[in-house]
Amino acid sequence: MFPRVNFLLIFGIIITVLALIYFLLSSLTSDEAPRPKISYSHLKHSIETDRLVDLISSAASSYRLSPSGNPCEDESLDILGVILVSSYVTHDDLRSAHRRALPESKLKSLGFVRLFLLAEIPLSERSITQTLLEGEQKRFQDILQGSFTDAYRNLTYKHVMGLKWATLNCSRASFIVKMDDDTVFDVHRLRKILQEFRMSHNEGEHLLSGYVQSNQKPIRLKPSKWFVSHREFRDAIYPTYLSGWLYMTNQRTAQDLVIASQKTPFFWIDDIFVTGILSKKLNIPLDRRNALYSANKDFIDCCIRDAEKHHYKCPYMAGPNGGEAELIGKFTTIVAECPDCHERTASDPRITDTCVGVVKYHPGKPGEPMVKELHL
């Protein structure tokens, strides 16, 4: 007679051995097969080169001025980000201040490429000529001038033009930073934040980070230059958006925003259109970094004072220059490049407690606010 065999026990052993073999093979396979790099080439094909939001003409596909040599094509550079600076044609003093504060060589050493976004000179302007802009371009090769009139109500074209150029011509840049020319910023802190994004974010994820504005209402007073009619925007509150002072995004998001702009009705307030209307349409979450921004120029002045006198680090990465072009250089030199500066301790006075503010009032003309210092 054959010995009795426990068939259930043998069956269990076989299943266990097979499971172990499968687990080992799976582990080896996953180690040997790295994740494939995400490609966005299919998105680029969806960007219409002859279209800029609702413009479909030579104005959408051509530039009056563009860099003769694309700085993004330098294979020796590890381009962390391209900085797009929205600038009005007559703001040559602001562009000069940015270039002196952060020359091209300095930006490149930090992994940045900078481009100033302009448009055509309005007929009413007499203080600037196209010849002067061409001379500025010949010297610096950092201007992208669109073939449409430079005006408040054309800011959206300029904004999307910059994102479009960056996605099509500077895809090697991991990030895109859009800012206004009257904004001061700490380039070293910006670089650190983008490096953190590079480590923590998958390049296939959406990214829109900056100063979040919420529950903002359209201005319905006709005398204001920011007047918005119900026909232009019918809702009572704007969608949550990022301030155009300075915000950060990546290639995936910028390309999606450009494509969405081709299929969305035009709205002329650019930061609301791009980071509010379009981001809401695409369900892109906004990363709130409001603590890094000062809405008041006086706090930028106080940062400079505290860095010089007490070697305190500025709590703000960016803020307005308050109409003072030279503040851009001061902030960069004294605050952003302060090797001895340190964080405030719990016993140190807060900048919000020691900084002198301003009083703002209307002098009687609707839509024409004035700013006057309050001396204490």
Cα angle 322-327-333, degrees, rounded to a multiple of 5: 150
Q: Which residue has the tokens 């600076």?
A: 85
Q: What is the pLDDT of residue 286?
A: 98
CB 116 within 8 A of CB 143: yes
111 Cβ contact partners less than 8 Å away, ≥ 6 residues apart: 77, 78, 79, 80, 81, 191
Residue 331 in tokens: 């902030």
- How many C-beta neighbours within 10 Å does residue 57 have? 12
Give pLDDT, residue 345: 92
User: How far is the C-alpha of 137 from the C-alpha of 9, rounded, in Å?
Assistant: 82
The two structure tokens encoding residue 133: 């802009």
Please list the pLDDT of the chain residue by residue as tens digits (376 residues).
445 555 555 556 666 656 555 444 443 333 333 333 334 445 556 898 889 998 887 777 789 999 988 888 888 888 999 999 999 999 999 999 999 999 999 999 999 999 999 999 999 999 999 999 999 999 999 999 999 999 999 999 999 999 999 999 999 999 999 999 999 999 999 999 999 999 998 878 999 999 999 999 999 999 998 899 999 999 999 999 999 999 999 999 999 999 999 999 999 999 999 999 999 999 999 999 999 999 999 999 999 999 999 999 999 999 999 999 999 999 999 999 888 999 999 999 999 999 975 444 334 444 444 444 444 3
Q: Is the dihedral of CA 187, 193, 196, 201 positive or negative?
A: negative
Predicted confidence at residue 71, as pLDDT, reads 82
* Length reported for the chain: 376
Q: Each residue of 81-106: pLDDT tens digit?
A: 999 999 999 999 999 999 999 999 99
